[in-house]
Structure 1
Amino acid sequence: MSGARTNRRQEAMALLERLEPEAPGRVADNLDDFHPQALETLLGFAFADVVSREGIDLKTREMLTVAMLGAMGNAPGQLEFHLRAAMNTGVTREEIVEIVLQIAVYAGIPAAMNAMSAAKAAFRAREGA
């Protein structure tokens, strides 16, 4: 493994920790169990190459991610994670409600209902923290 690859992994894990402090170990175990390069390939691209760019702040990126995952409607685990991450970056419960309502307009009621379920789970997790 090259030094550049190691730094990319470390950058991705550092950003993941900013999103949810408990996540890096869990995510690394899961991805490393699948393939030794999965974390560097997937999260290196997502977090080290794209999400860490300076063009949009992390809070806004998380709001966008929640909206996109909610609109997709087929990634409930990732949506719930990014809802928690959004709150960890300063997105308020009220802003999340507005995002879910916006999902209903542009992606449909079923997608919004799924996003609402994920949001409620993320709100419960936050209240339990």
Structure 2
Amino acid sequence: MNANDDRYTRGLAKLQEIDGHAGEAVLDSLADIAPDFARYLIEFPFGDIYSRPGLDLKSREIAVVAALTALGNAAPQLKVHIQGALNVGVSRSEVVETIMQMAVYAGFPAALNGLAAAREVFALAEPAR
């Protein structure tokens, strides 16, 4: 097994830990247009970065929700990562507070868009506990 195979295997395991089978849908959506990009998506973010020690998955997903909210133009990815955050133990209230915090740094429109994305994810998820 070469180093890239190891990165891919490690990345795919990390993606499944965060997103379950939802991550596979992203890979499948790229299969016909950019299969190499799908491989890069597994190897670098998940195989290299998410797999590093130093932050747990909950902290990493909170950071990603904040970053994607601040971008203001990544609603599909934000929804995936809000669900991923819920999957690794971030509460709905923590997601909402993270997004609200971004109003200070990215503006109210970005935070409003983030809250709309959260509302959609929460509506599709099981009831709040």
TM-score by length of 1: 0.90
Aligned counterpart, 2:7:
8
Deviation at 1:32, TM superposition (A): 2.5
**Whole-angstrom CA distance in 2 between matches of 1:22 and 1:62:** 17
Matching of residue 40 in structure 1 with residue 39 in structure 2:
yes
Gaps of 5+ in 2: none
**Whole-angstrom CA distance in 2 between matches of 1:118 and 1:49:** 27
What is the RMSD computed on CA atoms of the aligned residues? 1.5
Aligned counterpart, 2:120:
121
- Alpha-carbon distance change, 34 to 88 in structure 1, aligned in 2, over 3 angstroms: same
SS in 1 for 2:54: coil
Percent identity at matched positions? 43
**Whole-angstrom CA distance in 1 between matches of 2:79 and 2:28:** 19
**Equivalence map 1:14-29=2 (5 Å):** 14-29=13-28
**Whole-angstrom CA distance in 1 between matches of 2:35 and 2:106:** 36
**Whole-angstrom CA distance in 2 between matches of 1:27 and 1:65:** 17
Deviation at 1:100, TM superposition (A): 1.5
TM-score by length of 2: 0.90
Deviation at 1:13, TM superposition (A): 1.4
Deviation at 1:4, TM superposition (A): 2.5
Check the 8 A contact 1:5/1:40 in 2, yes or no: no
Structure 1 residue runs of 4+, over 6 Å off? none
Deviation at 1:6, TM superposition (A): 2.3
Check the 8 A contact 1:69/1:75 in 2, yes or no: yes
**Whole-angstrom CA distance in 2 between matches of 1:99 and 1:3:** 39
**How many equivalent residue pairs?**
127
Larger mean Cα displacement after TM superposition, 15-24 or 26-35: 26-35
